[in-house]
Amino acid sequence: MPDLFDPLRGTPDQLVRPALPADEVRRRGDRMRRRRTVAAATGAGLAVALVVSGGLALGRGLTNGAGPSPLPPATQAPSGTPEPSPGPEVGWRTSIPAGFPLADDLEDLVSSSEEELAGPGRDVRVFDVPFEACGRSTDLGAPVDTLAVRHTAPEWFDGRVLQVYGDDAAARGVLEELVGLYDACPKDRFEGPPDTVAVSTVRPVPHGEEGYLVTRTFSVDGPRVPGLELLHVVRTGNALLVSNLSNEGGATDANVALQLGERDPLVEDVATAMCVFAENGCDADGGDGGSLAAAVLGLDQLRDLTRGLSTSWTVVEEQRPTLSCQPVPLSTLEPREAAYTFFDGTGPDGTVNAQAAGAVLELPDVALAEQAFATASGWLRDCGDAGPGARPVAIAHDPVTQRTGWGPATWRVVERPAPEICTECDTGWIDAQGVVLVGNRLALVSLAWTGDLGSGADAAGSPMNDAVETAARLAAGSAPTSEGPAFGPRGLGPVHLGMSAADVESSGAVLEDSHGVGCTTFTAAPEGDPVLGFLTENQGVSVLLVDAEGILTPAGVGIGATEERVREAYPDAEDVPMGLFAPVPGFTDRQYTFAFEDGRLVEMALRLDRQSCVG
């Protein structure tokens, strides 16, 4: 036998081409490492967290939203190319606007010998090969306009196509064919050797008017092998986005979750921009705010807050400043979405004796929300006569800072004369207004009622104490943050410090390999966003690490927060290399650690004392 195999014993002439130089191999490996996942950047030099081999692969996770319409029934007839639409109907946009953000995330990418970026452009070819499953195939039909981008690298394919059809029915037809293809083929067998199985799962995703995700993984003779396809199909109006990411991941469920955590927000951003193809276009500023409508002050909450007032509240359509102290419109804070409500209160005599307003602004990220909060708080502190038409201020009480259960708040009461009521009395408007920061949202609330000037001095008894709490709770209710305590003091959702490996697995987490001194790592997604954890046999879960936005500590600190904000929330924090270390309030056996880059929080950990898994 040894003689028999001598011809295969690795002589250079066996090589098809010369091997790459070793330094080139290392360079490619370094690029893989950088490309692998986000949190590898947090590891260098940080004394309080340790990058596990392969990087802290945490992504942003999915937003938790209701799914769109049920999956279209799988088509039974042989698939074929949908007929081109007969022609555009009046009202459907038939061209893709210049500058459409199909690939903003790839803006800085430069083609090299290893990576190629083609597009975005109308002549970029992406899906030349029809989509196939279980012997059937389909393609993307005949659009009236198209925009595509293709990014390729070794073991990496990222292709995105935005296609516009004559009408929404044509777009829907293509979506149903494509999604139905995979829905009807959960397992696609390829006879060996080796026997390969492609497993496809299809589920709705909350993007666009209807959206689906097809996830394909592969197994060879049983075990999963490297190979992952994430296919997003999203329709809004007469436009269809097809996004395909294929790479060497997918060998574990944890890896699939991590990759989806990175990919889904990119798709969501593109899907959001597709609103230009909706029948009614994108919402204008100050509209009903779509998904934020439930997050803003409503009539029921207002009545609860003002039970002592002799007034009857009604919703009004009049658009007016939410805060009488704001000198400029709230749109100057540049929210990506906003919702507003306005109310008038009518007294027993039929005259308006109270007014109220609520607003929720959603900013693109926590950092921008913090800036907006600081700006709005400044308006309150500087409140004088404010904007045009505002009543003069007769009495300005001190601003109040308050920590709600979801984030910090600033509120203030100013009192203004009400000559329209009487000129010889001390009746005026008691004007209370506040702003509260909840993750990447800003909630604003104002209550104004007629009363004796000077009666607004009692800060402790002011309805604003409850009003900002209510505004915060509403804003948090449908926000990516969880209501009430989130990250800490005990853990995150069902995963707690001290929990055993068995309990961690029961919670749905995926245990990975051992690392370091008897430490087992695991990945959990208790609140939708992945969390990396460490546990040992002795301590159980000893460390939880978060680097995804939207998860807050009880003090309202989340990824993206400034160092100043973190220090404000945790005044007992101590400096450590590249971060802060703070005892968890109310506990003596655990602490938070916060890691910063460029002054912003990029990672936070909740850890037990005397744990040995991280530095």
Partner 1 sequence: MDAEEFDAFYTASFTRVVGQVYAMIGDRDEAQECVQEAFARAWSHRAQLEKAHAPEAWVRTTAYRLAVSRWRRMVRSRRAPDRALQDGPPTAPPDPDRVALVAALRRLPEEQRRAIVLHHLADLPVAEVAAETGAPVGTVKARLSRGRAALALLLDEHHDELAEGAGHA
* Residue 615 touching partner 1 (CB under 8 A): no
Residue range at the interface with partner 1 (CB under 8 A); choices 72-80, 149-157, 295-303, 545-553: 149-157
CB of 171 to partner 1, least distance (A): 23
Q: Looking at beta carbons only, is 223 or 586 nearer to partner 1? A: 223
Residue range at the interface with partner 1 (CB under 8 A); choices 19-27, 100-108, 133-141, 230-238: 19-27
Q: What is the strand order of the sheet 116-121 is part of? A: 116-121, 145-153, 156-164, 239-247, 224-236, 210-220, 196-204, 187-190
* Strands 590-597 vs 600-608: parallel, antiparallel or unpaired: antiparallel
* Residue 248 touching partner 1 (CB under 8 A): yes
For the chain, state the CA radius of gyration: 29
Q: CA 443, 601, 527, 297: dihedral to nearest 10 degrees?
A: 0
Q: Looking at beta carbons only, is 158 or 529 nearer to partner 1? A: 158
* Residue 14 touching partner 1 (CB under 8 A): yes
Q: Please report, as a single letter, which amino acid is at residue 109.
A: L
CA distance 456 to 459: 7
* Residue 388 touching partner 1 (CB under 8 A): no
Residue range at the interface with partner 1 (CB under 8 A); choices 175-183, 213-221, 299-307, 494-502: 213-221
Sign of the C-alpha dihedral computed for residues 377, 380, 386 and 391 taken in this order:
positive
Q: Looking at beta carbons only, is 9 or 610 nearer to partner 1? A: 9
Q: Considering CB under 8 A, how many residues would be counted as binding partner 1?
A: 61
CB of 433 to partner 1, least distance (A): 54
Q: Which of 173, 237, 250, 558 binds partner 1 (CB under 8 A)?
A: 250
CB of 33 to partner 1, least distance (A): 5
Residue among 479, 504, 473 nearest 491 (CA): 504
Q: CA 468, 474, 479, 482: dihedral to nearest 10 degrees?
A: 80
Q: What angle do CA 383, 437, 489 make, to 5 degrees?
A: 140
Q: Which of 135, 193, 389, 571 binds partner 1 (CB under 8 A)?
A: 193
Q: Which of 43, 81, 157, 286 binds partner 1 (CB under 8 A)?
A: 157
* Residue 123 touching partner 1 (CB under 8 A): no
Q: Which of 43, 54, 65, 489 binds partner 1 (CB under 8 A)?
A: 54
Q: Which of 69, 76, 113, 423 binds partner 1 (CB under 8 A)?
A: 113
Q: Which of 11, 69, 280, 588 binds partner 1 (CB under 8 A)?
A: 11
Residue range at the interface with partner 1 (CB under 8 A); choices 29-37, 496-504, 527-535, 573-581: 29-37
* Residue 228 touching partner 1 (CB under 8 A): yes
Q: Looking at beta carbons only, is 487 or 534 nearer to partner 1? A: 534
CA distance 5 to 353: 97
* Residue 114 touching partner 1 (CB under 8 A): yes
φ, ψ at 189 (rounded to 5°)? -95, 140
Q: Looking at beta carbons only, is 440 or 521 nearer to partner 1? A: 521
* Residue 424 touching partner 1 (CB under 8 A): no
Residue with tokens 């879960």: 541
* Residue 109 touching partner 1 (CB under 8 A): no
CB of 117 to partner 1, least distance (A): 12
Q: Is 39 helix (H, G, I), strand (E, B) or coil?
A: helix
First to last CA, the chain: 51
- Strand boundaries in 259-332, DSSP class E: 312-316
Q: CA 448, 439, 493, 499: dihedral to nearest 10 degrees?
A: -130
Q: Which of 229, 370, 469, 547 binds partner 1 (CB under 8 A)?
A: 229
Burial environment of residue 527 by CB neighbours within 10 A (0 to 12, 13 to 18, 19 or more): buried
Is residue 541 within 8 Å of residue 611, measured between CB atoms? no
Q: Looking at beta carbons only, is 385 or 512 nearer to partner 1? A: 512
Q: Looking at beta carbons only, is 186 or 194 nearer to partner 1? A: 194
Is residue 30 within 8 Å of residue 558, measured between CB atoms? no
Residue among 381, 372, 295, 402 nearest 560 (CA): 372
Give the count of beta carbons closer than 10 Å to the beta carbon of residue 201: 13
Q: Which of 107, 108, 123, 128 binds partner 1 (CB under 8 A)?
A: 128
CB of 131 to partner 1, least distance (A): 11
Binding stretches for partner 1 (CB under 8 A): 1-2, 4-5, 7-20, 22-26, 28-30, 32-33, 36, 53-54, 113-114, 116, 128-129, 152, 154-155, 157, 159, 190, 192-194, 196, 198, 216, 218, 220-221, 223, 225-229, 246-248, 250
